[in-house]
Amino acid sequence: MLFTADHDEPRRILQKFIASDINPHVEEWEKAGIFPAHELFKKLGDLGFLGLNKPVEYGGQGLDYSYALMMAEELGAINCGGVPMAIGVQTDMATPALAKFGSDELRKEFLAPSIAGDYVACIGVSEPSAGSDVASIKTTARSDGDDYVINGGKMWITNGTQADWICLLCNTGDGPMHRNKSLICVPMKTKGVSIARKLDKMGMHSSDTAQIHFDDVRVPKRNRIGEEGKGFTYQMVQFQEERLWGAAACIKAHEKTIQNTIEYTRSRKAFGKPLLDNQVIHFRLAELQTEIELLRSLIYRAAEAMLAGEDVTGLATMAKLKAGRLGREIPDACLQYYGGMGFMNETLVSRSYRDSRLTSIGGGADEVMLGILCKMMGTLPGRQ
């Protein structure tokens, strides 16, 4: 069994923290278009939530992946998608490769303060001209003695305006596209790093998203995670945690949307009876709840496989794909049953409708997930 009585205490602490220190501020942060990452992450770091499954030598709790999954699920109780996503970037998107493949020195310098909540991290993969096609990124890190000199730019970077460091994927050689890349930890205060602009988004309003430029940015080679040329492979490993996180964070969020819709349609009357009493509505909500339960089972199965040391590429990809599909289906169906109120910004379902749309795009679009699965199934053209 994935969760035991040992998960109850951290789960309860996190639920309490979300209710007392996050949800009361969400409206203000959504309006401001940003949340105070340093302040919030410090509190989460002090509670041990930024390193549940990270090594104890660097301040982590040294627990297994089931605890990280428990946290991703609980973050779905936050009344927006932006804040959970920013936390997920810190714990499950920008730091897994560093924790697994980084040198001791590098982990002390970047991982330990990220686990403590003293540093805010971001992950730099996507570029203006390459998102789905990760291998085609253009940012380069040229070797110059003991340093790399970085030039290029990254796009749509979550936490980008507040981050202390970026886990940067760039080309460190001219060889084959999958073997010429490295992941490098770059402090955002380094000369030559600039925030080109804070991006204006349709959803995820409380999360800051940046376009970042790198002009002759000099960092020591010791800032490279693991071996030179292995960055693409490390990032593909890192994506497995990102995709499972993205799927797990949807579960509670969608359940909450369904529960809110039940309450609203029970209280709203049309044609002499509550809207909920229409079979077409309560049957549809039951069907959507079933879909959530199926997604949950798939994610738990992937987590169990990960705990058993198995490759979870297929299951994590399916979970991300299914979460993306449900992220469009559930808020859309629920918003419909709110009628005009669903179209109002003051109603949470409209925020969920906007925020959930990202699941089908970020961390690899649905079509990229399908491509990975087809490759595994041997159904891509020209493959037997």
Ligand X SMILES: Cc1cc2nc3c(=O)[nH]c(=O)nc-3n(C[C@H](O)[C@H](O)[C@H](O)COP(=O)(O)OP(=O)(O)OC[C@H]3O[C@@H](n4cnc5c(N)ncnc54)[C@H](O)[C@@H]3O)c2cc1C
Residues classed as catalytic: 242
Neighbour tally for 129: CB within 10 Å: 11
Contact 90, 251 (CB under 8 A): no
Q: Which position among 77, 341, 365, 373 is part of the footprint of ligand X (CB under 6 A)? A: 365
Least gap, CB of 204 to ligand X (angstroms): 5
Beta bridge partners of 198: 210
- Shortest Cβ distance from residue 106 to ligand X (Å)? 20
State which residue, 106 or 321, has the beta carbon closest to ligand X. 321
CB atoms within 10 A of CB 4: 8
Looking at the Cβ atoms of 128 and 176, the one nearer to ligand X is 128
Q: Which is nearer to ligand X, 274 or 371 (CB)?
A: 371
Interface positions, 176-205, toward ligand X (CB under 6 A): 201, 204
Binding to ligand X by residue 362, rule CB under 6 A? Answer: yes
Strand-strand pairing, 181-187 and 165-171:
antiparallel
Q: Kindly state the smallest distance separating residue 299's Cβ from ligand X, in Å.
A: 20
Mask for 30-69, x = binds ligand X (CB under 6 A): ----------------------------------------
The per-residue DSSP string of 314-369 comes to HHHHHHHHHHHHHHHHHHHHHHHHHGGGGGSTTSHHHHHHHHHGGGGTTTS-HHHH
Q: How many residues lie near ligand X (CB under 6 A)? A: 24
Min CB(94)–ligand X separation in Å = 8
Tell whether residue 358 is a contact of ligand X (CB under 6 A). yes
363 near ligand X, judged by CB under 6 A: yes
Interaction of residue 77 with ligand X, rule CB under 6 A: no
Smallest distance from ligand X to CB 59, Å = 23
**Residue numbers 89-128 binding ligand X by CB under 6 A:** 89, 122-126
CA–CA distance, 172 with 139 (Å, rounded to integer)? 9
Indicate whether 238 belongs to the interface with ligand X (CB under 6 A).
no
Residue 42's CB is within 10 A of a number of other CB atoms, namely 16
By beta carbon distance, the residue nearest ligand X is 131
- The number of residues in the chain equals 384
- The dihedral over CA atoms of 11, 76, 66, 317, expressed in degrees to the nearest 10, equals 180
Strands 209-220 and 147-158 come out as antiparallel
Give the separation between CA 307 and CA 355, rounded to whole angstroms.
30
Please tell me the distance from the alpha carbon of residue 150 to that of residue 172, in angstroms, as a whole number: 9
Pairing type for strands 121-124 and 224-225 reads unpaired
What is residue 130's DSSP assignment? B
For ligand X, which is the closer residue by CB, 98 or 258?
98
**Three-state secondary structure string covering 216-245:** EEEEEHHHEECCCCEHHHHHHHHHHHHHHH
Considering the complex, what minimum distance in angstroms separates the CB of residue 302 from ligand X? 20
Stretch near ligand X under the rule CB under 6 A, chosen from 34-42, 293-301, 327-335, 359-367: 359-367
Does residue 209 interact with ligand X by CB under 6 A? Answer: yes
Q: C-beta of 347: minimal distance to ligand X in Å? A: 22
Q: Is the dihedral of CA 33, 68, 15, 256 positive or negative?
A: positive
Tell which positions 124-163 bind ligand X, by CB under 6 A. 124-126, 131-133, 156-158
- Per CB under 6 A, contacts with ligand X among 306-335 are none
Residues near ligand X (CB under 6 A) are: 89, 122-126, 131-133, 156-158, 201, 204, 209, 358, 361-365, 367-368, 371
